Structure 1
């Protein structure tokens, strides 16, 4: 097997004079390095090592991105499965329940029982692709752990909702089904 120099000579890309001159320069560099105690650095090898390290880093970054994308798809699939397996039927809805999705106000028709459960926080409203579904509060908590933006309405009773004993307006509660 011929060396690279011999191959270049045969191809006519380098003439004998130029090849001889390059060999002499290389020998001089090696001799000078031995005499001074310096280590001779082959720039070609160093460039190749740097290129390999750069390529390895790019490959690791691409793998991280692919893994993150795969994880995101897996989470979305889990959310869809949770919603489809646990959604609550709302066929006979005659009461319009209004909620916000982003900056838009949306309307979902539910019956009186579902409306009361939504208000109390027993069930929650979640987004499924382009539609909306009702699921139990426990399922909504599991969905919220995976993706907070999928749960649109999940009412919880806070300390401010509990009426104090000495409240003078305790007898004048605002009805939950008040429609504006």
Structure 2
């Protein structure tokens, strides 16, 4: 058997000696240019493959982070939904309108006079569940606020008035009527 594939093709008459010499000369020129230029074509392809692999790993990591964040958000929403469903206070037939703000809008929730007093004292909080509002005991509202503070609409008298502690001290000498409704 002959040595290389090129020798075998030449012996079989399938390749031309001039063409084989020209290919060998071109191969030597490429190797020479690569050696003089300081870069190896094989090294370039290895570097490109490494870079592509690093880019793919980065994209995969970002996708995994997005999936994990979405799963975490869904789990938190499910926990909040379960807390609201298990601990919401029955409103019954409320005859007193309790006004509160949700963002920039003023909403009204009809509650009993006892519920109104509990809301004003901060023992009961209003929590947003979807497009509805539910009343929950303060400790449960605090647990919901740990998970998503935007869901707890009103939680105490300070939140209801919107005044800071310093502003509340300013008005402490003035009596607020019990029947004041806004």
- TM-score with structure 2 length normalisation? 0.73
Structure 2: distance between partners of 1:139 and 1:120: 16
Structure with bigger helix share is: 2
Q: In structure 2, what is the equivalent of residue 62 of structure 1?
A: 63
Match for residue 173 of structure 1? 175
The Cα of 1:126 is off from its aligned counterpart by 0.4
Q: Secondary structure at the match of 2:125?
A: strand
**Map 1:10-29 → 2, pairs under 5 A:** 24-29=25-30
Flag structure 2 segments of 5+ consecutive residues without an equivalent: 1-15, 159-163
Cα gap change, 1:71/1:19 in structure 2, threshold over 3 Å: closer, same or farther? farther
**Structure 1 regions of 5+ residues with no counterpart?**
1-15
Equivalent pair of 1:87/1:133 in contact (CA under 8 Å): yes
Q: Report if the CA contact (8 A) 2:125-2:137 is conserved.
A: yes
**How is 1:105-144 mapped onto 2 (pairs within 5 angstroms)?**
105-144=106-145
Deviation at 1:179, TM superposition (A): 1.6
Cα RMSD, aligned residues only: 3.1
Between the two proteins, the alignment pairs up a number of residues equal to: 160
SS at match of 2:76: helix
Q: Which protein has the larger Cα radius of gyration, Structure 1 or Structure 2?
A: 2
Residue 76 and residue 18 in structure 1: after superposition, are their counterparts in 2 closer, same or farther (change >3 A)? farther
Supply the distance in 2 between the matched residues of 1:94 and 1:131 (Cα, whole angstroms). Answer: 18
- Separation in structure 1 between the aligned mates of residue 19 and residue 107 of structure 2, nearest angstrom: 80
Does the CA-based 8 Å contact 1:86-1:136 persist in structure 2?
Answer: yes
Distance of 1:175 and 1:19 partners within structure 2: 107
